[in-house]
């Protein structure tokens, strides 16, 4: 907190005798500046704002009321405490002064001890308020720093887990970048939809985007002979492959235990566990149905299937965009949430652009460039 001796008190009065008394009363404790009329006072305040103003009312030209009104009308000066010091003793006069924004009202002839006490009290309040505002600013800065730290921790944690998944997943890095952008595009489009406004907002969409790369993290638990097999899986092998949803859920769940119930990994867990569930209940691992499937899983399901269709695999060439759109549309209400398919159809050109931007092979780009299946 600033020291009182650093405070500037301005005296505004057109009578030299009154000015002399106030300067003598306050000069030992504060820096005192003087203005002999309202216009000069406003000029001085604009150049170097005082901490408190002792303001006469009856002055030639601009009276004290008008000076006060103008100071309170400006953002830069409205918080300067003003004490009227005047010979006007009527209650109505005092009431008018206080209504204009003055904090106190002293009548002449003044009592130096009372003036000193009132000035001291009001400066004490002003300095305390300044200190509180400074502390609030410091606290706000610390909160912002902590928020950035938390966001960075979330991002680094998710990226580290995604990198681990990539080391075991035969899918490409392009697949990860494409699918997270598909998910974000769908979420942004749906955020104003009545069904999804409670769930989708800027924070949740950002977290969905960051969490999407973990959808197949459970593949780290699938044996290489199955995960890397170039041909079609046997029924038994497919049973093992489907367990990647369980492995993904469990690995993220174990990480969550250290972070508490409100862990930012909740989206990632649900995405990893439910992105192979289907709207009609025919998916895996448990056959969730309709809105019983978390929205993040439904979003990821559509994004993942579209990308699998337009991507080159050892067992198939990339489908063109039109064919992929037709397959997704055909799955409306069976494989996919109908509302998400409707959004996808609206956004199909954006999906194509994302796929082109992050395509891994020229063969994929050529397929995406074709208009129809």
Neighbouring residues of 250: CB distance < 8 A, sequence distance ≥ 6: 218
Burial level of 337, CB count in 10 A (0-12/13-18/19+)? buried
Give the least confident one: 25-29, 156-160, 340-344.
156-160
Other beta carbons within 10 angstroms of residue 149's beta carbon come to 10
Pick 302 or 171 by higher pLDDT.
Answer: 302
Q: What is the CATH number of domain 4-139?
A: 3.40.50.2300
Q: Average pLDDT in the 5-23 region?
A: 94
CATH 3.40.50.2300 residue ranges of the chain are 4-139
Residues 6+ apart with CB under 8 A from 165: 213, 214, 216, 217, 219, 220
> Of the candidates 30, 43, 39, which has an alpha carbon nearest to the alpha carbon of residue 4?
30
CA–CA separation, 282 and 333 (whole Å): 12
Q: For 107-129, write each residue's pLDDT tens digit.
A: 999 899 999 999 999 999 999 98
Strand 31-35 to strand 8-12: parallel, antiparallel, or no bridges (unpaired)?
parallel
CA dihedral of residues 153, 158, 159, 160 (deg, nearest 10): 90
For the segment 297-323, the average pLDDT, to the nearest whole number, is 92
Q: Is the pLDDT score of 14 beyond 80?
A: yes
Residue 372: pLDDT above 60? no
How confident is the model at residue 199, as a pLDDT?
94
Q: What DSSP element (H or E) covers 269?
A: helix 266-274
Comma-separated ranges of CATH 1.10.3210.10 domains in the chain: 169-369
Distance between CA atoms of 40 and 42, rounded to whole angstroms? 5
Q: Which residue has the tokens 């508490």?
A: 260
The residues with which 9 forms a beta bridge, in sequence order, are 32, 52
Q: What is the pLDDT of residue 371?
A: 54
For residue 219, the 8-state DSSP code is G
Specify whether the CB–CB gap between 119 and 103 falls below 8 A.
no
Q: Does the structure show a pLDDT above 80 at 290?
A: yes
Q: What is the CATH number of domain 169-369?
A: 1.10.3210.10
Q: What are phi and psi of 346, to 5 degrees?
A: -65, -35
Cα angle, residue 220 at apex, residues 184 and 150 outer, rounded to 5°: 50
- Exposure string of 236-269, with b = 16+ CB inside 10 Å and e = fewer, is ebeebbbbbbbbbbbbbeeebeeeeeebbbbbbb
């Amino acid at each position: 907190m600033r020291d009182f001796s650093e405070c500037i008190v301005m005296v505004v009065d057109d009578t030299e005798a009154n000015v002399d008394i106030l300067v003598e009363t306050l000069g030992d404790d504060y820096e005192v500046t003087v203005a002999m009329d309202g216009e000069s006072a406003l000029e001085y305040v604009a150049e170097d704002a005082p901490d408190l103003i002792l303001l006469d009312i009856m002055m030639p030209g601009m009276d004290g009321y008008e000076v006060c009104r103008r100071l309170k009308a400006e953002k830069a000066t409205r918080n300067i405490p003003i004490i009227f010091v005047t010979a006007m003793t009527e209650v109505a006069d005092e009431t008018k002064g206080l209504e204009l924004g003055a904090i106190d009202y002293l009548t002449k002839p003044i009592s130096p001890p009372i003036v000193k006490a009132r000035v001291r009290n009001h400066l004490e309040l002003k300095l305390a308020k300044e200190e509180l505002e400074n502390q609030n600013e410091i606290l706000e800065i610390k909160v912002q720093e902590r928020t950035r730290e938390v966001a960075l921790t979330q991002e680094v944690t998710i990226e580290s887990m995604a990198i681990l998944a990539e080391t075991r997943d035969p899918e490409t890095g392009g697949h990860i970048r494409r699918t997270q952008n598909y998910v974000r595009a769908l979420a942004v489009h749906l955020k104003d939809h009545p069904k999804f406004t409670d769930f989708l907002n800027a924070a949740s969409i950002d977290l969905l985007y960051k969490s999407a790369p973990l959808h197949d993290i459970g593949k780290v638990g699938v044996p290489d002979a199955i995960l890397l097999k170039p041909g079609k899986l046997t029924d038994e092998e497919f049973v093992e492959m489907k367990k990647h949803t369980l492995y993904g859920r469990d690995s993220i769940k174990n990480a969550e235990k250290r972070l508490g119930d409100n862990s930012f990994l909740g989206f990632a867990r649900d995405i990893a566990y439910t992105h192979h569930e289907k709207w009609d209940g025919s998916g895996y691992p448990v056959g969730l149905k309709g809105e019983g499937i978390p929205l993040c899983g439904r979003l990821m399901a559509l994004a993942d299937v579209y990308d699998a269709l337009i991507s080159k695999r050892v067992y198939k060439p990339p489908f063109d965009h039109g064919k992929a759109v037709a397959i997704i549309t055909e799955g409306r209400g069976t494989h996919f949430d109908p509302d998400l398919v409707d959004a996808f159809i609206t956004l199909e050109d954006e999906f194509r652009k994302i796929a082109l931007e992050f395509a891994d092979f020229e063969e994929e780009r050529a397929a995406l460039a074709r208009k129809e299946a």
